[in-house]
Structure 1
Amino acid sequence: MSIHFTVSGLTRNLIHSLGLDHEWWPKALTPEQKLLVECYLAGQIPESAWNDYVFEMPELERHVNARRGRH
């Protein structure tokens, strides 16, 4: 009998068991959301448009902040 775990699964379980999975922890994005984040960070999306995206999908802001090193 063998048991297989992925490192990401173990990490996620550890974070959850320690109670560290608060809302600031970025959740997985869809490919479209990842593209929006990359375009925004590259300066290709104006602030006004970005604010509209963030209003609809607040998780985008958490990912940007995590990428910039601010949690």
Structure 2
Amino acid sequence: MSIHFTVSGLTRNLIHSLGLDHERALTPEQMLLLECYLAGQIPESAWHDYVFEMPELEKHANARRGRNSA
């Protein structure tokens, strides 16, 4: 019996299992918004407006908070 795998597949699985793949889907502008929000530079009311327009931002913010608190 033999096991075959690719390094790219293992790397992709490792990145996913560590929760590091969530940032790939954001545009540079969305990443800037996320960084500013996490740094406390965007008020909650404005953040909720951004999240209403771009719901994926909330998922990424929650993932970042979870990773930073671990």
User: TM-score per shorter chain, which class?
Assistant: 0.5 to 0.7
Structure 1 length as normaliser, TM-score? Answer: 0.63
Which position in structure 2 is the counterpart of 1:69? 66
Amino acid at match of 1:58: P
In structure 2, the gaps of 5 or more residues are 1-5
The residue number in structure 2 matching 1:19 is none
State the number of aligned residues.
Answer: 53
Tell me how large the CA RMSD over aligned residues is.
Answer: 2.4
Instruction: State the 1:39 CA deviation.
Output: 0.1
Counterpart pick for 1:45 among 25, 42, 53: 42
Structure number with higher helix proportion: 2
Deviations 1:15-58 (A, max 9, x none): 7xxxxxxxxx8361000000000000000000000000000000
> Where does structure 1 differ by over 4 angstroms across 4 or more consecutive aligned residues?
none
Match of 1:36 among 33, 37, 40: 33
Unaligned stretches of 5+ residues in structure 1? 16-24
Q: Percent identity?
A: 72
Q: Hey, what's the Cα distance between the residues in 2 that align with 1:45 and 1:58?
A: 16
